[in-house]
Amino acid sequence: MVAQYERPSCLIEGKGVFFEESAVTKFEHKDLLGMGPLSVPEISLILDTAESLKAISARDIKKVPTLRGKSVVNFFYEPSTRTRISFDVAAKQLSADTLSLSATTSSMVKGETLLDTARNLQAMRPDLIVLRHPSSGAPHMLAKEVEAGIINAGDGINEHPTQALLDLYTIREKLGRIHGVKVVIIGDISHSRVARSNIIGLTKMGAEVTVSGPPTMMPVGIESLGVRVTPDPAQAVQGKDVVMLLRIQLERQSKVLFPSVREYASFFGLTTEMLQGANEGAIVMHPGPLNRGVEITPEVADGPYSVILDQVANGVAVRMAVLYLLIGGAKGDNVDQGR
Amino acid sequence: MITWIRGGNLVDPVKGTVEQVDVIVENGKISRMLPPGVFQEEGPGISRIEASGRMVVPGLIDMHVHLREPGHEYKETIASGARAAAAGGYTAIACMPNTAPPNDCRAVTEFILEQAERAGWVRVYPIAAISKGQAGETLTDFGELKAAGAVGVSDDGFPVVNSELMRRALEYASFYGLRVISHCEDRGLSGNGVMHEGVVSTRIGLAGIPDASEDIMVYREIALSRLTGRPVHIAHVSTAGSVDLIRRAKKKGIRVTAETAPHYFTLDHRRVIGYDTLAKVNPPLRSPEDVEAIKAGLREGVIDAIATDHAPHSSLEKEVEFDRAAFGMIGLQTALPLTLQLVRDRVLGLAEAIGKLSWAGATILGVPGGRLVEGGNADLAVIDLDYEYPFEADRILSKSKNSPFIGEVLKGIAELTMVGGKVVWEKR
């Protein structure tokens, strides 16, 4: 037969298969393109590694020599503050050399293609390229073409794996577990790479995931990823341990998905009142940047439920872990040799 | 000069038969078709083509190709496309008007015919634009285009948005006997979609093109055909919904015909996983259920023809991010083996399959060929049904190599292609 391809396992399994958390010490990936290719033990390894690295940020001298002599290119085709700075800080704390490229400072503005830019970068032999790109699949294309490892720092509406990893880390840190935790994700599920990575990561790790938002923002067949759909956010929040909000992308929203920001805010914005239905000790998460008064009221953003700034802090630790595991030399070395 | 095609199994799509017949070709025409053993002449004026164990079929006719000339000769020229067609068993191809400039006037139609004449590989039939500049506003000069040699009109690649313009095109074209071919797509619904909207687009984060984007326009064309009583042809059918609509329209006697392309009955949207831009095509590869519906449509005769929608693009358009890549794939050298797979899978009989690749296109466009008859043009192909080969890029004669089938093992090939009695292609 002519058409031969592997069936994507994610489509068949629905919910992830759980393994006993085992102490794997090997991380045999060249790239981190998405949550899909990661196994449960590998995700656990990243989170464990992040935990041991988090202490570094708390020290007076926030630097260890682990990645000395390694180079990391931050290649951002889309505006980003949080993620770019987070990767930069993470790499610098591990003593890697970093350099930043953006679409406007690179030869992209002169009409160079992504592949040509990447091949030129490759010629300078970086160890890792951290890529943020508006096209889904761009990091996958790059990964096939260059020897350097690729970290997907957000591709189009596809994935943003380090965001999901830092969210998993934060959930584990705050609630002590991921397995069995009840999570609701509210917002534009269709156009959110954060949602997609979190859905894959959370279901893999055994969390129960519900998605909520206007039907115009629900992708076709989202249930096939192992989630439940509850359009009414107040109802969806009921009995949840984690309420994860997505940024409403005002800048790229086409008019037809919802009539007005005002209407979205009044029906889907998370209020203190809605949170009453959540479980005792529930946490509120947001990948940032916030649209205060749109998807989240200021009271909730600054309230006791909110772990939004913890997410940012954990982002550095998780990205350090990912950098270390991808290019950290001999696996199994002591992570923190600078002690 | 006599050419004797000896011992082959002649496929007649009209009678639905496959029987051993010797074909005698003289002066570009088929002079005699004889039972084996009757023709015994030898001599210097007789060249012999051994066809025993092979199928002798009417030259394939592709009613939907893009040749890119004038304007994008780096992707394909009329000569390179025509040569790829000959290698695929085709003896005639109809080229769509979305060139630069588009084929919306007599000068371009004549240019295409001159270039085709110069190239000489296969017969080329220009399809002219429905609207000037394919802008969807004013009709082109159908009469003049017909006189210049156009066989149909289409704004392929740019759906006609204005329903009144389409209505008038159907009415006006019928006066000249030009078939109107519709690219059915509601661009508002397609939006910035780059693949079929479904579980796979949801999973891999690509914007989707819903099946309804095609269905809606198929229904519009059916409604306009009914309203005007004029025939309409639906290009590249890809959805179960379209098959259903066309089936019902045909039952009611509405004069609608339809084509699909081999990729729509061979591949589904899972082929896009991995972001392979070679699998990016418009309409997009649909769900496995759609693929089954297309096969059913072919089997039941709801879908009349198999055309390639051969759409060459160079690495400039394909070696880029998925959402920035051009839509389209080449198909002239893969259509025959992929269609023969339907025969092996018992979806179609052999004569039926060959008919969808030849007779159907000839009938719909009103061009000669599609059947081998005494006195008719000697446009034919000799096919080896059992020849198996890995389809590698070095086999591709198009200037562009954008085929998702590269690396696949294909079965069935045109060993020889003859146009007007002249052998234009022989497999090495």
B396 within a domain of the structure (yes/no): no
Residue A5 has pLDDT above 60, yes or no: no
Write down the pLDDT at residue A2.
Answer: 39
A9 within a domain of the structure (yes/no): no
Q: In terms of residue numbers, what domain contains A107? A: 29-159+314-327
Do B311 and B300 belong together in one domain?
yes
CA A126 – CA B103 distance, rounded (Å): 50
Do A302 and A166 belong together in one domain?
yes
The residue of chain A nearest to residue B410, with distances taken between CA atoms, is A2
A:213-232 residues touching chain B, CB 8 A cutoff: 219-222, 224-225
- Output DSSP code: residue A61: S
Mean pLDDT of the region B118-126: 97
Do B118 and B201 belong together in one domain?
yes
Q: How confident is the model at residue A166 (pLDDT cuts 50, 70, 90)?
A: very high
Residue A337 has pLDDT above 60, yes or no: no
Q: How confident is the model at residue A124 (pLDDT cuts 50, 70, 90)?
A: confident
A336 within a domain of the structure (yes/no): no
B399 within a domain of the structure (yes/no): no
CA A323 – CA A327 distance, rounded (Å): 6
Residue B218 has pLDDT above 80, yes or no: yes
CA B303 – CA B307 distance, rounded (Å): 11
Residue B298 has pLDDT above 50, yes or no: yes
Residue found under tokens 């096919």: B383
Do A178 and A238 belong together in one domain?
yes
Write down the pLDDT at residue A24.
Answer: 58
Start-end of H helices in chain A: 9-13, 40-57, 82-93, 114-123, 138-145, 161-175, 193-204, 233-237, 261-268, 272-275, 298-302, 308-327
Do A275 and A208 belong together in one domain?
yes
Do A303 and A165 belong together in one domain?
yes
Catalytic residue among B156, B211, B309, B379: B309
B405 within a domain of the structure (yes/no): no
CATH, residue B21: 2.30.40.10
Write down the pLDDT at residue A109.
Answer: 63
Q: How confident is the model at residue A8 (pLDDT cuts 50, 70, 90)?
A: very low
Do A171 and A274 belong together in one domain?
yes
Do B110 and B236 belong together in one domain?
yes
Mean pLDDT of the region B18-43: 93
For chain B, the straight-line distance linking the first and the last C-alpha, in angstroms and rounded, comes to 24
Do A155 and A167 belong together in one domain?
no
Residue found under tokens 């279901």: A203
Do A43 and A146 belong together in one domain?
yes
Residue A215 has pLDDT above 90, yes or no: yes
Residue B396 has pLDDT above 90, yes or no: yes
Do A167 and A294 belong together in one domain?
yes
Closest CA to A29 of A182, A172, A139: A139
A193 touches chain B (CB under 8 A): yes
Distance (Å) from the C-alpha of residue B182 to the closest C-alpha of chain A? 28
- Output DSSP code: residue B166: H
Residue A227 has pLDDT above 90, yes or no: yes
Q: For residue range B69-96, what is the model confidence (pLDDT) as tens digits?
A: 999 999 999 999 999 999 999 999 999 9
Q: For residue range B206-215, what is the model confidence (pLDDT) as tens digits?
A: 999 999 999 9
Cβ neighbours for B144, distance < 8 A, ≥ 6 positions apart: B105, B106
CATH, residue A265: 3.40.50.1370
Q: For residue range A272-289, what is the model confidence (pLDDT) as tens digits?
A: 999 999 999 999 999 988
B398 within a domain of the structure (yes/no): no
Q: How confident is the model at residue A1 (pLDDT cuts 50, 70, 90)?
A: very low
Distance (Å) from the C-alpha of residue A17 to the closest C-alpha of chain B? 17
What single letter denotes the amino acid at residue A119?
R
Residue A18 has pLDDT above 90, yes or no: no
Do A135 and A62 belong together in one domain?
yes
Do A169 and A296 belong together in one domain?
yes
Half-sphere exposure of B327 (CA within 13 A, CB side): 15
Write down the pLDDT at residue A258.
Answer: 83
Cβ neighbours for B404, distance < 8 A, ≥ 6 positions apart: B263, B267, B271, B276, B278, B279, B329
* pLDDT above 90 as % of chain A: 71
The CA–CA distances, whole Å, from A331 to A66, A148, A151, A334, B109 equal 12, 18, 18, 9, 67
Write down the pLDDT at residue A338.
Answer: 40
Residue found under tokens 């090939």: B413
Do B80 and B119 belong together in one domain?
yes
Q: For residue range B168-192, what is the model confidence (pLDDT) as tens digits?
A: 999 999 999 999 999 999 999 999 9
Residue A3 has pLDDT above 60, yes or no: no
CA B416 – CA B202 distance, rounded (Å): 45
Residue A254 has pLDDT above 80, yes or no: no
> What count of other Cβ atoms lies within 10 Å of the Cβ of residue A247?
18
B151 within a domain of the structure (yes/no): yes
How many helices and strands in chain A, by DSSP H and E?
12, 9
Q: How confident is the model at residue B12 (pLDDT cuts 50, 70, 90)?
A: very high
Residue B32 has pLDDT above 50, yes or no: yes
Q: For residue range B242-281, what is the model confidence (pLDDT) as tens digits?
A: 999 999 999 999 999 999 999 999 999 999 999 999 999 9
Are A136 and B322 a contacting pair at CB < 8 A? yes
Write down the pLDDT at residue B194.
Answer: 98
Q: How confident is the model at residue B40 (pLDDT cuts 50, 70, 90)?
A: confident
Write down the pLDDT at residue B388.
Answer: 97
Residue A242 has pLDDT above 80, yes or no: yes
Write down the pLDDT at residue B15.
Answer: 97
Half-sphere exposure of A100 (CA within 13 A, CB side): 17
B390 within a domain of the structure (yes/no): no
Residue found under tokens 């695929």: B88
A332 within a domain of the structure (yes/no): no
Do A81 and A205 belong together in one domain?
no
Q: Is B290 a catalytic residue?
A: no
Do B92 and B168 belong together in one domain?
yes
Q: How confident is the model at residue A58 (pLDDT cuts 50, 70, 90)?
A: confident
The count of structural domains within chain B is 2
Write down the pLDDT at residue A9.
Answer: 34
Q: How confident is the model at residue A13 (pLDDT cuts 50, 70, 90)?
A: very low
A297 within a domain of the structure (yes/no): yes
Do B181 and B199 belong together in one domain?
yes
Do B381 and B304 belong together in one domain?
no
B102 within a domain of the structure (yes/no): yes
Q: How confident is the model at residue B131 (pLDDT cuts 50, 70, 90)?
A: very high
The count of structural domains within chain A is 2
Do B126 and B248 belong together in one domain?
yes
The full length of chain A comes to: 339
Closest CA to A259 of A244, A274, A248, A247: A248
Nearest 10 degrees: CA dihedral of B90, B94, B96, B97?
140
CATH, residue B327: 3.20.20.140
Write down the pLDDT at residue A220.
Answer: 94
B320 touches chain A (CB under 8 A): yes
Suggest the residue from A9, A113, A135 to mutate for an interface test with chain B (most B CBs closer than 10 A). A135
**In the beta sheet, which residues pair with residue B12?**
B17
B276 within a domain of the structure (yes/no): yes
Do B30 and B115 belong together in one domain?
no
Do A63 and A112 belong together in one domain?
yes
Closest CA to B308 of B262, B353, B366: B262
Are A11 and B199 a contacting pair at CB < 8 A? yes
A121 within a domain of the structure (yes/no): yes
Suggest the residue from A4, A5, A192 to mutate for an interface test with chain B (most B CBs closer than 10 A). A5
Q: In terms of residue numbers, what domain contains B23? A: 2-56+376-385+410-426
Mean pLDDT of the region B354-375: 98
> What count of other Cβ atoms lies within 10 Å of the Cβ of residue A293?
13
A206 within a domain of the structure (yes/no): yes
Do B337 and B421 belong together in one domain?
no
